[in-house]
Chains A and B, each alone.
Chain A
Amino acid sequence: MTALETTTARRTSLRDYYQSFMSRRASLIPAFAAIAILLLLFIGAEILLRGDFIAPRNISALLLDNAYLLVLAVGMTFVMVTAGIDLSVGSVMAFTGIWLAKLLAAGMSPVIAIPLILMGAALIGLLMGVLVQYFDVQPFIATLAGLFLARGLAFVVSLSSIKVEDSAVLWLQSTRFRLGSWYITPTGILALLVVIVGAFVMQFTRFGRTTYAIGGNEQSALMGLKVARTTVAVYVISGVCAGLAGLVLTAYSGAGYPRNGVGTELDTIAAVVIGGTLLTGGRGYVLGSMVGVFVYGTIKTIISFMGAEQSWMQIIIGALLLVFIVIQRAIVARSDRRS
């Protein structure tokens, strides 16, 4: 059937509406699934904990505790949409965190220290991006090298944790802006800002749309797009986000710790995948990743409220990731067969 005329306006029946929706927004379905899961979790928690869960202080804490992961997830979304992966984010986060702590302890003003660590993170991202784009290195090897590098550098900076005394940085975490029982910290605001900027860039800039093109079409260079520039840039962005996450985490815990973030990249990938981003690239939303982070955070909260062991956290996240991947694979296989 040739669809030469597919009318845009007349949605006379519900069926038309459904069809139009499916043809336009089918890629949003995974993100909707994530929201559905989040709602289910909230409801389930509410029941399990006998009405103690959905309270302003818990939801506010959700953002507070997972702000660092939110920032990481934004950067990871950019990379994964281009069909890449960044295994270094946990280590870069630890590196920038401890480096910041050391610089502050040495008396440097945060106004200089913070941009400095962000530049360091950006440099590591640049290195990985160059390896991927110009040396044909597979992303996971290139970012694995980044992981090694950042982790080692973290310990070079300091072998043990360093407390942060700087008031400006601590302010980021300790201040609460209250609205009734709800509250938000500057770190929370920062995280949300990163999400908003990230979402805007992906949706409304040519750069953002190019990332989707790269993920959706291996030959996108033939479309005349600036593939090289964009590919390197997403790794730099991921690096900077990891740097910001280091700032947030250091403020949160009041100290830099070189052992931070071991395995965090996996949690980030899990959150982003749960939020609807395809591992194979080409599809994903920053807002979806945000939902994914909240799913992660909620599960963690439920587990700790229930007094269960932390090890369950890893198992559940692993299982969830698996389920999502298998579903993604089935959906992709079906749409491949159709086209």
Chain B
Amino acid sequence: MRRIVKSRLFWPVAALILLILINTIARPQFVRITFQDGRLYGALIDILRNSAPLMLVSLGMTIVIATRGIDLSVGAVMAVSGAVALTIIDGSADPNSLGTVIVALVAAILVSLVLGMWNGLLVAVLGIQPIIATLVLMLAGRGVALLITGGFITTVNSSPFEFIASGYTLLLPFAFFISIAAIAAVGLAERRTALGVLTEAVGINPEASRLAGVRSRSIIWTAYAASGVLSGIAGVIYASNIRAADANAAGQFIELYAILAVVLGGTSLMGGKFSVAGTVVGVFIIQTLNSTILFLGVPSAQSPVFFAVVVVIVVVIQSPHLHRLTRSLIRSIRTNQTPEANGTTTNGESAGEESTSDVEVTV
């Protein structure tokens, strides 16, 4: 078991370390951390803080992908969540009171939960393809957010609210602790309860799981609900950061980065075995990459190009076709085969699995 974890986490961690090293060589102040007024500052600290929204969304995305699904609505849910929270604070008698802020947060998260459960209903009960089911919310969600804010970018002046994104606790940014809490919550829920294994079973082999008595519907529903809640919290952090509810900018493209983080972390898009730790590393890779790009002076609007290249590389490497190509290439180099025997080897590879099941099952 440890062996597997080691080999799957190995490459992402190695990539992250490499990135940090490159950054450090290019700008030694990258790893410098300063201490001031009871707080730590530095590029690394910024990464810890700024990665929080993506971290939360990616955690939710990991679980959803594990069930062989996808959640494209996460950005829209962030927007709605921010809109709800800010509208409550803005409309309240005392925006600065902790009570108001807590009410706003609870409301925002509840709304996000409902939205997540809505997605779960479409996928688990109505059997709609996850891409399409979550596409609907992706489309409509921002509209809903705009309605809630009345079409404006609501701004507030609320110190308890601002604290979420900018505040510090125990030397480190508060947002970072939210990340930790989320990672812990998801990790514990998945691994301390049976949720993790059952989710993996559903993702790997839905039919075998069904025959074994696994409650696939509940599991899938839970996954989308969780994704909704986590996106809601991410939305609150984002809104706190800009001290406003911007329905269009909130979480823009975040679904893409989240999917990338999950894939970088070693979880397959086809569903099944997933790794929370892998996603965490994936998120840090993306944030560090982002930081690197900004440092290189590339305007942030242009950074998607780099990420496109990363996506293509990762996806091509993971492609089974590539595996087959390299394997037969290696084999032909190693043994200098004749065309006829080549036929056999390709048989052995691609038909190997089919054939044994052929022998077992078909006519």
Contacts and interface: CB of A to CB of B under 8 A. Distances in A.
Interface of A: 85, 127, 131, 134-138, 140-142, 144-149, 151-153, 155-156, 159, 258, 262-263, 266-267, 269-270, 279-280, 309-319, 321-322, 325-326, 329, 333
Contacts of B252: 262
A175 B127 CA distance: 49
Contacts of B256: 144, 147-148
18 contacts: A131-B315, A135-B321, A145-B312, A147-B304, A148-B253, A149-B308, A153-B305, A155-B302, A258-B301, A262-B252, A311-B145, A312-B143, A314-B139, A316-B143, A317-B140, A319-B136, A322-B136, A325-B133
B304 A134 contact: no
B340 to A, nearest CB: 24
Contact of A144 (B138, B146, B311): B311
B319 A318 contact: no
Contacts of B247: 311
Contacts of B140: 314-315, 317-319, 322
Taking chain B's interface residues, is the majority helix, strand, or loop, or is none over half, making it mixed?
helix
Contact of A156 (B141, B144, B302, B309): B302
A135 B135 contact: no
Nearest to A91: B304
A298 to B, nearest CB: 17
Nearest to A309: B151
B143 A148 contact: no
A315 B146 CA distance: 10
Contacts of B70: 140
B136 A145 contact: no
B307 interface: yes
A142 B315 contact: yes
Interface string B290-322: 000000000101111111110110011001111
Taking chain A's interface residues, is the majority helix, strand, or loop, or is none over half, making it mixed?
helix
B128 A135 contact: no
Given A258-B301, A329-B128, A315 B315 contact: no
Contact of B139 (A310, A317, A326, A333): A317
A315 B127 contact: no
B142 interface: yes
Given A311-B146, A313-B143, A148 B305 contact: yes
Contact of B320 (A136, A148, A155, A311): A136
A156 B151 contact: no
B343 to A, nearest CB: 19
Nearest to B142: A314
Q: Top 3 closest A-B pairs, CB basis?
A: A318-B140, A314-B143, A311-B146
A135 B319 contact: yes
Interface string B219-261: 0000000000000000000000000000100001100100100
Contacts of A263: 139, 142
A85 B135 CA distance: 12
Given A148-B253, A148-B305, A318-B141, 5 more contacts: A131-B315, A135-B321, A140-B131, A309-B150, A326-B128
Contact of A145 (B131, B146, B315, B319): B315
Nearest to A156: B302
Contacts of A149: 304-305, 308-309
Interface string B119-143: 0000000111101110111111111
B111 interface: no
B319 A137 contact: yes
Nearest to B139: A318
A279 B304 contact: no
A136 B319 contact: yes
Nearest to A325: B132
A131 B321 contact: no
B363 to A, nearest CB: 17
Contacts of A151: 304
Contact of B321 (A134, A142, A148): A134
B139 A85 contact: no
Contacts of A280: 129
B266 to A, nearest CB: 16
Given A144-B256, A270-B139, A279-B132, A136 B312 contact: no
Given A136-B320, A329-B126, A159 B299 contact: yes
B136 A318 contact: yes
B147 interface: yes
Nearest to B299: A159
Contacts of A140: 70, 131
Interface in B320-342: 320-322
Interface string B266-279: 00010000000000
Nearest to A124: B308
Contacts of A134: 321
A142 B316 CA distance: 10
Contacts of A322: 136, 140
A311 B147 contact: yes
Nearest to A311: B146
Contacts of A156: 302, 305
A321 B302 contact: no
Most buried by A among B136, B145, B256, B307: B136
Contacts of A313: 143
Contact of B142 (A144, A311, A326): A311
A140 B259 CA distance: 11
Contacts of A144: 256, 259, 311
B311 A148 contact: yes
A131 B318 CA distance: 12
